[in-house]
Amino acid sequence: MKLSLSSVQIGSILALGAAFLFSTKAIFIKQAYALSPLVDGTVLMALRMLSALPFFLAIAWFNRRHNQGLKGTDWGLLVLAGLVGYYFSSWLDFAGLMYISASLERIILFLYPTLTVIASSFIYKLKLSLKSILAIALSYGGTVIVMLQEQSNVSHEGDFWIGVSLVFASAVSFASYLLMTPKLIAKFGSWNFTGLALSIACIGTLIHYVISTPAPIQLLTQLPSSVLWYGIALGLGVTVLPTILVAQSIARIGASQTAMIASLGPILTIILATLFLGESMNTIQWFGCSLNIIGVMIITLSKKKLGH
């Protein structure tokens, strides 16, 4: 008996795979930080982007036919989007994970759809519905519950709030990137935009590393080999592969269905953090996490009503 999967089933499997791979990011970062005092967010970001750069350059090269007839302002906005979305946002996230748990980091990052809706309401002068306002209140209320529970158990409260601020700033930065992408994708094409924007982010990250590190090449040679492997895993398994899986999933089942499956991300991260990092969440934190996910999903599925 021949087993065949429908397009919807394949799309759902791809979306689930992407959600799982994205969920491993904070786990890999935390484990790499624990291996060597030489490792910080900038070093790990450099390893990640160095591994991913050849693949995104290849994607951009094979889709270069879409670059015809574009204006200088289009290229300028593309560079800005790449730097804001996957360089600056990622660097803030990596830095924040030095101070807070992987579980809390994932929950805070998951707020980015609410940030895009709030920003859109101001930019396009759209009135938020009562449903959207309640959903935003749910998501932020749930996040605050998780934060306060973790904050009560930390020894250095100042470091904790630095971590929270950095990761929230990362979510804001990524939301800003998402606001720029629709017009750019229409002009550059989906795959071409992805290849170009992420190549720019990789190059920006590597320039940052070289400028901020006194002996950049020597430092890489001093790192444990396991850290290098984590960097490669972050580049290929958490950046390149899930990016491709998401694109293929959206092509088969649409953005809304892909987003619904992606809502499993925080739960998967929490489970992985429990298994591999020894983190744990109490009942109150699980309640807060549930509120966060419910609120964000209501917002995500209501975006079309706001014209997005």
Residues 171, 84: Cα–Cα separation, whole Å: 11
In a domain, 2, yes or no: no
Are the C-beta atoms of 200 and 78 separated by less than 8 Å? yes
Residues 191, 251: Cα–Cα separation, whole Å: 12
Are the C-beta atoms of 150 and 167 separated by less than 8 Å? no
* pLDDT digits (tens), the chain, 308 positions: 445 678 888 989 999 999 999 999 999 999 999 999 999 999 999 999 999 999 999 999 999 999 988 999 999 999 999 999 889 999 999 999 999 999 999 999 999 989 998 998 888 888 888 999 999 999 999 999 999 999 988 877 789 999 999 999 999 999 999 888 888 988 998 899 999 999 999 999 999 999 999 999 999 999 999 999 999 999 999 999 998 999 888 888 887 788 888 888 999 999 999 999 999 889 999 999 999 999 999 988 775 444 33
Tally of CB atoms within 10 A around 266 = 25
Residue 201: give the domain boundaries: 9-306
In a domain, 210, yes or no: yes
Predicted TM-score (pTM) of this structure: 0.91
In a domain, 153, yes or no: yes
Residues 131, 231: Cα–Cα separation, whole Å: 41
In a domain, 71, yes or no: yes
Handedness of CA 265, 143, 82, 51 (dihedral sign): negative
In a domain, 4, yes or no: no
Residues 207, 50: Cα–Cα separation, whole Å: 11
In a domain, 161, yes or no: yes
CA neighbor of 85 nearest in space, from 173, 3, 149: 173
Are the C-beta atoms of 194 and 243 separated by less than 8 Å? yes
In a domain, 3, yes or no: no
The tokens describing 105, both together, are: 């980091």
Residues near 21 by beta carbon (within 8 Å), at least 6 away in sequence: 237, 238, 241, 242, 245
Residues 144, 141: Cα–Cα separation, whole Å: 5
Residues 297, 262: Cα–Cα separation, whole Å: 10
The tokens describing 176, both together, are: 């800003």
**What total number of domains does the chain contain?**
1
In a domain, 82, yes or no: yes
